[in-house]
A and B are shown apart, each in its own frame.
Chain A
């Protein structure tokens, strides 16, 4: 009898540990110290392109940021309609990526994969068709990339990897000329 009790408790303990493990995996993300979305939200308004300061010791918006990449982001909010992101991609290393607030990267495009340097990206929620919002004539819509977003609020992040330290100024200038704002027909 005495021998059997610890065995039973070990089984009970393992089952309990398994349940606690599952609950912990599902709740730990919510107990995140500070999400990337929350960090970026403190830097400026939604639907505007904001440049991140170059990562330096003691001055990093996000942990493990690349010191040799320049970043600009737009915290998009589709509540009042689609959002348009326009950029002139300075070199083929550029990467444009769209994220949910939890950091899931649901869309990305590399500079090298684009036919032209000017990128015109319209981010729309699932229930927003860009036709409704007044899209341009079909023949010109080749130049417009419409991305259906699974979330009404998220982040568009442009990465400009540097080919060398001397390229930083040029990359920062190029990022400054990108734009993000509510989608309008004339855009």
Chain B
């Protein structure tokens, strides 16, 4: 009876009749909308977490334009060891487990690639060619990825300014290779692994305006890849 009356009261083309049939898709849209908002929010948070931590990690481990000078394959922290250094440099030093000399007394340059940008590996042979460095003492050493020295029969882990054989014009060539080489042979070991070269320069004789040891970029050695296994 009631339904009959209702239908009789309402015109067949009334919006009220149409309303219930519209409501279902509208609510679904709202639900999918809030689902999408949640997905966006989680996505944003995860992306922000990765971006925030990733960028912090990279800028602390590898440096950035703010903290490091990059010359070819070499990268050196400008304010390393300095008590007034920026937070990135301080974090880098604290995490490194090292005790570097402040950059007014010594400069450290690290290379993980050759001059062409290819990762240094013990599977390849390299020629490291350098010019005289204006400093009291320098040393070029090779390490594995974790900063450990590499086992080799001649117990040779580095060449320094006093012991590297030099040409008459003061330039030198260090042969980084797993197999014995003439001249200055720096063994890269038998294990197949990535390599890290570290050039430490004690008491540079030139300094910049803030007293930081100055090593002109063209003085840093070139790392040329020779044959690979």
| A residues at B contact (CB < 8 Å) | 5-6, 9-10, 12-14, 16-21, 23-26, 28-29, 32-36, 39, 55-58, 60, 62-69, 92-93, 95, 97, 99-100, 102-106, 108, 110, 112, 150, 155, 157, 159, 161-165
Asked whether, in the complex, the Cβ of B99 is within 8 Å of the Cβ of A25, the reply is: no
Min CB distance B187 to A, Å, is: 11
Interface string of B67-79 (1 = CB under 8 A from A): 0000000000000
Asked whether, in the complex, the Cβ of A35 is within 8 Å of the Cβ of B97, the reply is: yes
Q: How distant is the Cα of A25 from the Cα of B158 in the complex, in angstroms?
A: 33
Asked whether, in the complex, the Cβ of A25 is within 8 Å of the Cβ of B49, the reply is: no
B123 within 8 A of A: no
Known: A25-B91, A64-B98, A157-B99. A104 touches B85 (CB 8 A): yes
Q: How distant is the Cα of A104 from the Cα of B93 in the complex, in angstroms?
A: 8
B203 partner residues in chain A, CB cutoff 8 A? 95, 110, 112
Asked whether, in the complex, the Cβ of B60 is within 8 Å of the Cβ of A28, the reply is: yes
Asked whether, in the complex, the Cβ of B163 is within 8 Å of the Cβ of A165, the reply is: yes
Among the interface residues A28, A34, A60, which one has the most CB atoms of the partner chain B within 10 A?
Answer: A28
Asked whether, in the complex, the Cβ of B52 is within 8 Å of the Cβ of A33, the reply is: no
B132 within 8 A of A: no
A106 partner residues in chain B, CB cutoff 8 A? 83
B63 within 8 A of A: no
Asked whether, in the complex, the Cβ of A28 is within 8 Å of the Cβ of B57, the reply is: yes
B91 partner residues in chain A, CB cutoff 8 A? 25-26, 28-29
Asked whether, in the complex, the Cβ of A99 is within 8 Å of the Cβ of B99, the reply is: yes
Min CB distance B179 to A, Å, is: 18
Min CB distance B131 to A, Å, is: 20
Min CB distance A4 to B, Å, is: 12
B160 partner residues in chain A, CB cutoff 8 A? 68, 161-163
Q: How distant is the Cα of A39 from the Cα of B98 in the complex, in angstroms?
A: 10
Contact among B51, B98, B137 for A93, CB-based, below 8 A: B137
B200 partner residues in chain A, CB cutoff 8 A? 66
Asked whether, in the complex, the Cβ of A20 is within 8 Å of the Cβ of B98, the reply is: no
Question: B-side binding surface: helix, strand, loop or mixed?
Answer: mixed
Closest Cβ neighbor of B140 among chain A residues: A68
Binds A, one of B6-14, B36-44, B211-219: B36-44
Counting chain B residues whose Cβ lies within 8 A of the other chain, the interface size class is 35 or more
Contact among A19, A68, A99, A112 for B141, CB-based, below 8 A: A68
Asked whether, in the complex, the Cβ of A36 is within 8 Å of the Cβ of B98, the reply is: yes
B93 partner residues in chain A, CB cutoff 8 A? 102-104
Contact among A20, A28, A164 for B48, CB-based, below 8 A: A20
Q: How distant is the Cα of A93 from the Cα of B146 in the complex, in angstroms?
A: 28
Asked whether, in the complex, the Cβ of A108 is within 8 Å of the Cβ of B102, the reply is: yes
Min CB distance B26 to A, Å, is: 15
Asked whether, in the complex, the Cβ of B136 is within 8 Å of the Cβ of A64, the reply is: no
Contact among A18, A24, A34, A105 for B105, CB-based, below 8 A: A105
Binds A, one of B15-23, B113-121, B148-156, B167-175: B148-156
Min CB distance A17 to B, Å, is: 4
A63 partner residues in chain B, CB cutoff 8 A? 96-98, 143, 146-148
Min CB distance A112 to B, Å, is: 6
Closest Cβ neighbor of B198 among chain A residues: A64
Asked whether, in the complex, the Cβ of B148 is within 8 Å of the Cβ of A60, the reply is: yes
Asked whether, in the complex, the Cβ of B97 is within 8 Å of the Cβ of A39, the reply is: yes
B94 within 8 A of A: yes
Closest Cβ neighbor of A30 among chain B residues: B94
B45 partner residues in chain A, CB cutoff 8 A? 13, 16
Asked whether, in the complex, the Cβ of B56 is within 8 Å of the Cβ of A110, the reply is: no
Q: How distant is the Cα of A67 from the Cα of B90 in the complex, in angstroms?
A: 25
B25 within 8 A of A: no
- What 7 pairs between A and B have smallest CB-CB spacing? A20-B52, A63-B147, A24-B56, A16-B48, A67-B157, A29-B94, A105-B81
